[in-house]
Chains A and B, each alone.
Chain A
Amino acid sequence: MNAFSAVGSWITERLPVSAADLRELTNEPVPNHLKRWWFALGGTPAYLFVVQIVTGILLAVYYQPSPTTAYESVEYITTQLPYGWYLRSVHKWAATLMIAAVILHQMRVYFTGAYRKPREINWIVGMLMLICTLTLGFTGYSLVYEQLSYWGATVGANIAGQVPLVGGLMRDMLLGGDGYNPRTLPRFFILHAAVLPVVLILLIVLHIAIIRLQGVTKFEFEDERAEPGESPPSRRTFDFFPDHMLTELAIGLVLMVMLSFLATLWPATMGPRADPLVTPDVIKPEWFFYVSFRWLKLFSGLTAVLSMGFVVFVMFAWPFIDEQIRRRTRFTEASVWIGICGVFAIIALTVWEAVVAH
């Protein structure tokens, strides 16, 4: 018995998993439609999330979450720490791309009807992941303790405070008091660097487990109709290893190249240090909140918060609402048209917020 097989047996005795089992577990046949790259977008946010974890841990080594040190520590990372500017810029750009990828993935799922029975639960898990991702974005830019961080957090907390009944409690929970105070920043940091990532990891595990249990939704395209004598294309598959893995690797590399170039060409900058005594003339959140920010400006306090809550509720419950529409009406494609209207509304509100000064 040579040394390799001795080590192999030693491990197999203690971890009774055979290589063949592993291969079967990971090498599930992949439906043919996944050869089309836009169906591989689901892996993109996960990939970017890994980038966020790695860069985030490195940044957390130097970040000091208190109002007296936060800005200076981010400044140190940006201007003095070797490669600090690169890590921070990659972290910032990966966040932007991750949110964009989540939105694109969700749009793909929506427009292909992949949320329909029996995948309603996974849609809800996906919605939770969307909210988790956006909250990570919000808490992330609050940590820099620049003017945008401070006033963004203050505005965010005030919006939460508008929610009937539990608003005050939500605001207090978010800020650690009824206003921004020295305990607020550590709270944001714990949310951003510990609580939300763990929740997101659990949701990802759940999301993937459900996919594996149910199998990926199978699609059939016009140009893939079965020729006489062939098996139906919906049953056609290809190997995860190495075929799909190589696609994922290619996408990963494209993302790394994009991140690297974005980080070097447009590195993360710093705004003025937070000053509780000076309210900026213009407060704007990050781009992914433009849509909700514009919405809030269109309506007065309570109406805005309630209507927004209603929209979010509809999004969560969409698989069931869609089911009812399809069952009770003859508009079987209503979801597509509603989706198109929704996307246009999101784009319009975002652009509107982007181009106006106030």
Chain B
Amino acid sequence: MTLDQKRWVIVALAAVFLLSLVFVQWMEIVRRAEEAGISEARHPVPSSSQDCVSCHTQVSTGIIQHWETSRHAEAGVGCVECHRAEQTDADAHTHYGNVIATIVTPKDCGECHVTEAAEFEGSHHAAGGNILASLDNFLAETVEGFRGSFNPHSPTPGRGEMAVNGMASAASGCQQCHGSKIALESTDGGLITVDDLQPDADGRPTNLEAVGRILRGPEGRPVLASSTWPNTGIGRLNLDGSRGSCSACHSRHDFSPRRARQPENCGKCHLGPDHPQKEIFEESKHGVAYRDLRDELELDGDTWVLGVDYAQAPTCATCHMSGHSRNGGKITHDPGERISWTNRPPVSLVMDTDIEGHIVTETDLATRQELIADSAQNKRNRMRAVCQHCHTPNYVDAFYEQYDDLVILYNEKFAKPGQKIIAALREQQLLTPTEFDEEIEFTWFYLWHHEGRRARHGASMMAPDYTHWHGMFEVAERFYMELIPQARHLAEGAGARGAEVERVIDEILARPEHAWFEEGAEAQAEAIREAMRERYGDRS
């Protein structure tokens, strides 16, 4: 090599070196921007998902951007790791060389998150899909809608469809929280669900005849029935036999722990007239503290242990699910583990549960004790351990007495009597077997399902206005002003059958707690007026 050639080689090498320093400078700028929070930290894309990311960056940018900020991206978990499927899965298809499925089920998440998936599977959340065969769903599917489709009775300008989907309210309403029964479209025009596929323990379908009927679109992709998907209901009935949807709380594709820790996340479903837990929380001192101090709660922390990482205010997750300093930071994905009453049914039940997690309703004390696998007291003790991070044991015990008293008052004064009156009407055949076709059925439903729950939930989470005005006040008004008169009205002129109902009502109203209603309570009212005069003077 001549000297001149050497010089040129050196010039070229020097240029490359300078270029590398420019690259270093660029990396430093990116790092500083990330540190200053101006840009999100970027993580290398796992090689398995390079193709997915490069294509979906173009066609669905948001998915990729969400994923890039996720813990999954940080840990090298890409698209394929979660969407991977076996060729034999009912919803599997080959997508640019990878066998994948659109829906990621708890069975898939459980491949890595074993404990979380197992806890969730045993929770009431996972059983949310049971509503699909319940009274509530009768409302959506029959009262509000129609079990099937029907023809419109006049045209809608601009819309060409001829059939009305009678299940629309159920699909867009109930099922979005409770979960749908995921269905694939069949070549014969029907739907194929988990019931047809009969999956084995690994989630693989055993009924190959049903698999053969699956309607397939481009790429051989099985067609998901739009009446059942998209859906992230918490008790979704999946094709692989698993129940639930992890993304109900851990929204895809960033799976943000921060979001799952906030009450707004639960508030997608736990709100409204029938179970306004989120509004109740907001009214409570807990919610007030949360609103004020949320910036100090370390919501972004890698760990989020009450008493270790934060203690300023609780969220739903804090009390019902999160780890705390007294339980070694152990999180549970079964929110029922710390709940001692179920206020879901008309009459609240003590949460003594059997080995399968079902509530023990046995009344014989000895048999009951044998059946109980996890007592309500155990559950309460778990919650008390959370409470005691901020409250003394005496304070917590006294709170639970107040809460128990309210639930029992509601149960004994209104719920059980109401249930007894409705039962008497049915027994005497003064109601049709069909639900919700008579006014009193709506009245009773409002009483326990809406107002009764509001009162009980209000007491459970320290929201006085929900306990009283939105709760017990409306329960009482509904009971005395609607349920009793409507029941008496149905009994009138019904002869002996009506007399039996009247007897039940009279027996209830003769009880000391109801006596004021028919006997009057003038002496009591006068005593109150006198006390008012003493305190505030005569302002009339």
Contacts and interface: CB of A to CB of B under 8 A. Distances in A.
Contacts of B150: none
Contacts of B1: 35
Interface stretch (B10-18, B358-366, B379-387): B10-18
A86 interface: yes
Contacts of A260: 17, 20-21, 23-24
B35 interface: yes
Nearest to A239: B3
B511 interface: no
Contacts of B27: 86, 264
B31 A85 contact: yes
A82 B13 contact: no
A257 interface: yes
A333 interface: no
Nearest to B31: A85
B28 interface: yes
Nearest to B6: A246
A253 B3 contact: no
B13 A264 contact: no
A243 B3 contact: yes
Given A85-B31, A247-B6, A257 B24 contact: no
B438 to A, nearest CB: 68
Interface in A33-64: 35
B63 to A, nearest CB: 27
B35 A242 contact: no
A283 interface: no
Given A243-B3, A246-B3, A250-B6, A256 B24 contact: no
Contact of B24 (A242, A243, A250, A264): A264
A254 B35 CA distance: 32
A250 B27 CA distance: 26
Interface in B1-56: 1, 3, 6-7, 9-10, 13-14, 16-17, 20-21, 23-24, 27-28, 31-32, 35
B20 A264 contact: yes
Interface residues of A, number: 20
A125 B31 CA distance: 44
Contact of B23 (A35, A80, A254, A264): A264
B32 to A, nearest CB: 8
A80 B36 CA distance: 11
A97 to B, nearest CB: 15
- A interface: dominant SS: helix
Contact of A86 (B16, B28, B35): B28
A249 interface: yes
Interface in A66-124: 80, 82-83, 85-86
Contact of A257 (B3, B20, B31): B20
Interface string B265-307: 0000000000000000000000000000000000000000000
Nearest to B35: A80
Contacts of A35: 1
B284 to A, nearest CB: 40
A243 B2 CA distance: 9
Nearest to A259: B20
Contacts of B6: 243, 246-247, 250
Contacts of B24: 83, 86, 260, 263-264
B399 to A, nearest CB: 41
B17 A253 contact: yes
Contacts of A219: none
A239 to B, nearest CB: 10
Contacts of A247: 6
Contacts of A253: 10, 13-14, 16-17
30 contacts: A80-B35, A83-B24, A83-B28, A86-B24, A86-B28, A242-B3, A243-B3, A243-B6, A246-B6, A247-B6, A249-B10, A250-B6, A250-B9, A250-B13, A253-B10, A253-B17, A254-B13, A256-B17, A256-B20, A257-B13, A257-B16, A257-B17, A257-B20, A260-B20, A260-B21, A260-B23, A260-B24, A261-B20, A264-B20, A264-B27
Given A83-B24, A243-B3, 7 more contacts: A82-B28, A82-B32, A250-B6, A253-B13, A253-B14, A253-B17, A264-B24
